[in-house]
Chain A
Amino acid sequence: MSQKAKDFFEQYKAGKISRRDLMLGAGKLGISAATANFMLNAASTQALAADFDWKKFKGAKLHLLLNKHPYADAMIADLDNFKALTGMEATYDIFPEDVYFDKVTAALSSKSSQYDAFMTGAYMTWTYGPAGWVDDLGAYIKDPAKTNPKYAWDDVLPGLRASTAWNGVPGGALGSADAKQWCIPWAYELNSIAYNRKMYDKAGVQPPMNMPDLVEKAAKLTKDLGGPYGIGVRGSRSWATIHPGFLSGYANYGQKDLTVGADGKLKAAMNTAGSKAYHKLFIEMVQNSGPKNWSTYTWYQVGTDLGAGASATIYDADVLGYFMDGGDNKEKGNLGFHAFAPNPEAKAPTPNIWIWSLAMNSFGTQKDAAWYFMQWASSTEHDLFGATKTDFVNPVRASVANDEAFKTRLNKSYAGYVDQLAASSPGAKIYFTPQPLFFDVTTLWAETLQKMVAKEVPVDEGLDQLAATIDKQLKDAGLG
């Protein structure tokens, strides 16, 4: 690279020119986009090193446990910069999502020190935290000796910071003053509508306004399109069926999974009149317009059907639609994104969120070094690199979400995605009650949903039975 080009990147590092000017100038100097991106991030990395001793743990060897995901791919693509910045080595084991959390449970429950840090979701920390498997990261964030002054923790969206912090009290509010920060938000997905614009045009329908409208339009799409089905939602016997579109709509109708009594005891709340009415709508939608083998559907089938043109709509993670609108999917470029408030009386969407986060293994032997990795991986620089150059979407930092380059890139390739994100994100948070029996409750809920969709049990009776079973389990565990 010429001296002129190097000077150009130095100017950016010194803050004399903007990122946009830098990329334009690099283009004029004949530097390829890939080289420019690498240099840009290397310059960012050097800027990151300015006021903090990143080399403190030079020579340390970290081992990470990762889930096979575009977020992990984004980090791996930038890992050389971490090595250059810190002088540390970072190796990783990567597992497909089907078995990933079983691997995490096996590693942590055996008190293994094999992994220093790992990917997790916030729900999982409701098990890992009380079990003593992960460290409270609040202590690291507040320690100026361990955390880069430019880390800007407050830049992380407040709803995400709160959703990953819990005081360990069953039913305790997320993000309370005494909460422990069990993990660091890395990237997140909220649940909304993604739809096939061509199919909607063909059937002459507009994106749904609310849940009754969605039920009606999904049925019309199924009928009119003559092949693709109207709406894709998850249906497998797993907690993962409950948390995306289903719970987002449930919360929008003002319904709760559990209630917390004055004595702190938990009680199932799935059998209220409002809950039963919402369940009936959702079940009618699946029965009339869902995939034929709905009860085996995970996020993977929901997404691939939309990408392959087998479904017209999904009510699932917004990034699932994002991924299906790109790559080599058949429907690439045909998808639209739509913020969705299912309750006709609600003023705004209330999407439940899934936050891919980073957590620290309590049994690790080099925790300070692991924290260096975690703060680099969740830094503004890496977040911006991932959001603008790879598929590290949605970004957890406000500065990155508002970055013009990020918005321009998304607007150019993914019609309506930025608007959807802006309209949905204010109400986006975790709508579950945090408590240790989260997976018991949600798996039972999914099982009951399957029975009701299969007409094995009427909705009212099924939800009464579900609430009674959950209440018994809570009582047995001393929580109800």
Chain B
Amino acid sequence: MTAETIQAPRRRRKTKLLPYLLSLPALLVCVGILIPFVTAVYYSMLRFRLNLPAMKGFIWFDNYINFLSDSEFWNTVRVSLLYTGLTVGVELVFGLAIAMLLQKQTRFNNLASILLLLPLMTAPALAALMWKLMTNPNFGVLSYLVQLAGVSDFKWASAPSTALFTVVLVDVWVYTPFIMILLLAGLRSLPRQPFEAAALDGVPRRFVFFRITLPMLAPYMITATLFRLLDSIQQFDIIYSMTQGGPGNTLLVFQVRSYLEFYQYTNVAKSAALLVILWAITYALSNIFIKQWLKLRERARGSA
């Protein structure tokens, strides 16, 4: 038997194993994600407070059923969705407007797009603390400017009527550059022919924007919206740093409530149940967006 005939089965075995070896890292990551997820689902079906160990027991879906009749829970759903809708909507409009302004590649525009990215590099918790100081009624620069504009006694994050506005403002300041940079990249990569043709035909700019720019930019907008949506509905740092969920229950979004349930009340089960519901909402929303994105891609391929 020659050396070659001995080595052939070994090589075949290696080739057979290769796909499994290559998929091993992905499998490990998947297991790493699934273990805490399954644990959270399990905990959410328990009655489990760390400081009442004697009460621990399996109660199936009671935690979820209790939420249905809990007005505080529905307030959390309402506030989380409102916050998400407002931040993503405003950031999309502002991000698109700024991207359009910076579309042309000039030295100034390139510099401006880099400078506009700076808020994104600030940790959101730090940005929130910075804004908390700027909106302080005693010495905050924004309070001073608002007073100069004739609005007195504007309480920013400390009044229920203006708290949501204030945290949305901070979120917009931090994350608009994220949408702006994605849309700017999209705008600059669009083919020039349709725009040149429209210019030659003398098509009005509004028509170009709504009939050419927006449809062609839609996949980028959906991608940017999806990323921001997933992040925004899981908001924690800005709200917790500025108000801890207050005043009252004005800003008690999912993550803040879940955090308090665990770290302050040691109610592991309720905290886990809230996060599982948040996961379900996030999953449903991302599914809708991904389906839309796939549809657009199919349409783009079909027209190509």
Contact = CB atoms under 8 A, between A and B. Distances in A.
Contact of A450 (B55, B248, B260, B263): B248
Main SS of chain B's interface residues? loop
Contacts of B156: 293
Contacts of A296: 132, 157-158, 242-243, 246
A127 B249 contact: no
Contacts of B159: 295, 454
Contact of A237 (B49, B137, B244): B244
Contacts of B262: 105
Nearest to B241: A98
B243 A295 contact: yes
Interface string B246-273: 1111000000000010111111000000
A130 B50 CA distance: 8
A454 B53 contact: no
A477 B248 CA distance: 23
Interface residues of A, number: 37
Contact of A295 (B55, B158, B263, B267): B158
A326 to B, nearest CB: 22
Given A295-B247, A447-B248, A130 B160 contact: no
B118 interface: no
B245 interface: yes
A385 B77 CA distance: 54
A291 interface: yes
Main SS of chain A's interface residues? helix
Contacts of A202: none
Most buried by A among B135, B160, B265: B265
B160 A291 contact: no
Interface string A436-472: 1101100100111011001010000000000000000
A181 interface: no
B235 interface: no
A310 B265 CA distance: 34
A291 B262 CA distance: 31
Given A237-B245, A456-B160, A132 B265 contact: no
A131 B266 contact: yes
Contact of B137 (A293, A440, A477): A293
A296 B138 CA distance: 13
A129 B193 CA distance: 73
A443 B264 contact: yes
Contacts of B246: 236-237, 295-296, 446-447, 450
B283 to A, nearest CB: 27
Most buried by A among B135, B158, B249: B158
Contacts of B248: 237, 447-448, 450-451, 454, 456
B51 A130 contact: yes
Most buried by B among A127, A132, A291, A292: A292
Interface string B44-83: 0000011111010000000000000000000000000000
Contacts of B249: 447, 451
B53 A450 contact: no
A454 B250 CA distance: 11
B4 interface: no
B266 A127 contact: yes
Interface string A269-311: 0000000000000000000000111111000000001000010
A295 B136 CA distance: 12
Contacts of B132: 296
A478 interface: yes
B158 A439 contact: no
Given A126-B51, A293-B155, A439 B265 contact: yes
Most buried by B among A102, A106, A477: A477
A393 to B, nearest CB: 28
B265 A437 contact: yes
A478 B52 contact: yes
A361 interface: no
A439 B259 CA distance: 13
A448 B72 CA distance: 13
B153 interface: yes
Given A293-B158, A439-B265, A131 B247 contact: no
Given A131-B266, A291-B138, 11 more contacts: A237-B243, A292-B153, A293-B135, A296-B243, A436-B51, A437-B265, A440-B267, A443-B264, A450-B247, A454-B248, A456-B160
Interface of A: 101-102, 105-106, 109, 126-128, 130-132, 236-239, 291-296, 305, 310, 436-437, 439-440, 443, 446-448, 450-451, 454, 456, 477-478
26 contacts: A105-B263, A109-B266, A126-B51, A127-B50, A127-B266, A130-B52, A132-B53, A237-B244, A237-B245, A239-B264, A291-B137, A292-B153, A292-B155, A293-B156, A293-B158, A295-B159, A296-B242, A296-B243, A439-B265, A440-B267, A447-B246, A448-B248, A450-B246, A454-B247, A477-B55, A478-B55
